[in-house]
Structure 1
């Protein structure tokens, strides 16, 4: 079955057109990513900004033309964190429907966790589980534990855009801003640990743009290379060092990094802090339980999960 999956998050809008057979094997035909920053100011205002809606609609029109070239049998437009509680989401719904002919599906944190887990663990051997998947988005971060199925999941109200707007909305954050951001992350992690048994994980899988961008830096890539990033193993020390470096850079230095998407320049430092704090907490819990943790980065994520789920 040929499907077109749209993933509209707080920061990015992505498209995947793929053929999926009855066994769940997927052949990717087209994959696109644009930074639209739909969640601009949502944490403070509770509604979508007009310019954010127009950016999102413009990219959706572009994607509609791309998708039509492949004649998909099914289409699904999934919207996540930023779209759940806004006052003017009917305007968003109407705009997307006018372009695509489908109403955006605003999914819960639980379904977001399920789809992220499905995409991140596709094709992985159960012998390397249990898996803890971290989907680090612009508005929220999901932690999902399981092997074949999801055993536990939690959605934390922290993401690269949301944390930047709350605590780090300056070119180079000072010590007080960084401490405030870290306290926010740790508070959410404390609550998350009451829901998800972090110590049960054996393989930590990090997904989404913040994670893959930091990994490109860890690998020392001279451009963003999806095939090199997918499946890369990293250490806690490497993630922490990369996050620290990004926090200390000014905007020009971050923008000059050869693998950095321009739309991530302003929010990558906050995202890096989240990645570093989460992976350190999980590694600490696993070691305290007498086990070792493998940390893997995946380029397959909720977008792939949407496509697989749509074809099932």
Structure 2
């Protein structure tokens, strides 16, 4: 079965097309991204602006057509922190449905955490034992801990890299004093969540997911993405501390020149690194393995698991979009991945 997964995040909208079957390894066929920065389109009253909503609708419409032209039988569409936090989210979702035919499902923070944990568990298997996972998005931080496919603890905190950059580090480069203030504040903010996590049990394996962690690992010497997803990549607490001292003195333009950091992510990589540091410190973790699977893969796996009863995680069949033929807009570039990786 060919599936499309449309992920509307705080920074980007991402369409992943995969060939998947129950009991098999989902094979990525193409990946299409657009940088919308929806979190930056939230106005002073907490609402997504008309301009931001228009950009979202246009992108969802284009990506739905890509999914159709790619032969997807179904399109699973979901939104996370930026849309979830917008005070006019119901109005925006209604517009998306009316103008594109796509019903965006808004995932709660704990649901994000649970689905990501499922993907991590399937990647590493039962032999990994108890897993703690850390995921840093643009708007939120997700933490999970468990020995089964459903974590015993699944938490979400409003500590995303983009959110903290806007609120704490407006200068470019960020001032040393502001960096230290954010560092101290984060230690306090993650303390209670870390206690709840560790109360469930100490991990046999510490894992990290998300583009932020992949970039941080690459900056500390991990293999590039071109080496494939099965190459082991790690991020150490020592390497992370050294990296923060280096990148926090650089401008966003200079950070964008570093291998592994895109121009879109460069402005918020310092805040992301500080969240990673605070999380690892609070959880007493000296090293994390970087997992290539995360939320999108978790949603695919849960859909395949529930195929027998026709439901999909939360929201049921209403979240599954049937797609028909359509032309792919020339304005969107789709990168085809090597399915053998």
* TM superposition score normalised by structure 1: 0.88
Q: Taking structure 1 as reference, are residues 58 and 265 closer, same or farther at Cα in structure 2, changes over 3 Å only?
A: farther
1:105 paired with 2:105, answer yes
1:299 paired with 2:302, answer no
Q: What residue number does 1:261 align with?
A: 262
Deviations 1:222-249 (A, max 9, x none): x753726863123211122223322111
Pairwise CA RMSD: 2.3
Q: Taking structure 1 as reference, are residues 266 and 53 closer, same or farther at Cα in structure 2, changes over 3 Å only?
A: farther
Q: What residue number does 1:134 align with?
A: 134
Q: Taking structure 1 as reference, are residues 55 and 170 closer, same or farther at Cα in structure 2, changes over 3 Å only?
A: farther
Q: What residue number does 2:324 align with?
A: none
Deviations 1:93-151 (A, max 9, x none): 13432454222111111211111112223231322221111111011000011122211
Q: What residue number does 1:179 align with?
A: 180
Q: Taking structure 1 as reference, are residues 200 and 267 closer, same or farther at Cα in structure 2, changes over 3 Å only?
A: same
Q: What residue number does 2:170 align with?
A: 169
Mapping of residues 5-24 of structure 1, within 5 Å: 5-24=5-24
Secondary structure in 2 matching 1:234: strand
Mapping of residues 80-119 of structure 1, within 5 Å: 80-98=80-98, 100-119=100-119
Determine if contact 1:229/1:297 at 8 Å carries over to the other structure: no
1:206 CA drift (Å): 0.9
| Aligned residue-pair number | 303
Q: What residue number does 1:208 align with?
A: 210
Determine if contact 2:77/2:104 at 8 Å carries over to the other structure: yes
1:56 CA drift (Å): 2.8
Mapping of residues 168-247 of structure 1, within 5 Å: 168-197=169-198, 200-219=202-221, 225=226, 227=228, 231-247=232-248
* TM superposition score normalised by structure 2: 0.81
Q: Which of the pair has more CA radius of gyration? A: 2
Determine if contact 2:48/2:89 at 8 Å carries over to the other structure: yes
d(CA) in 2 for partners of 1:99 and 1:204?
43
Mapping of residues 39-54 of structure 1, within 5 Å: 39-40=39-40, 42=42, 45-54=45-54
d(CA) in 2 for partners of 1:154 and 1:254?
30
Secondary structure in 1 matching 2:29: strand
Q: What residue number does 1:250 align with?
A: 251
d(CA) in 2 for partners of 1:188 and 1:59?
35
Which residues of structure 1 form unaligned runs of 5+? 285-292
d(CA) in 2 for partners of 1:4 and 1:174?
42
Moved more, 52-61 or 258-267: 52-61
Q: What residue number does 1:290 align with?
A: none
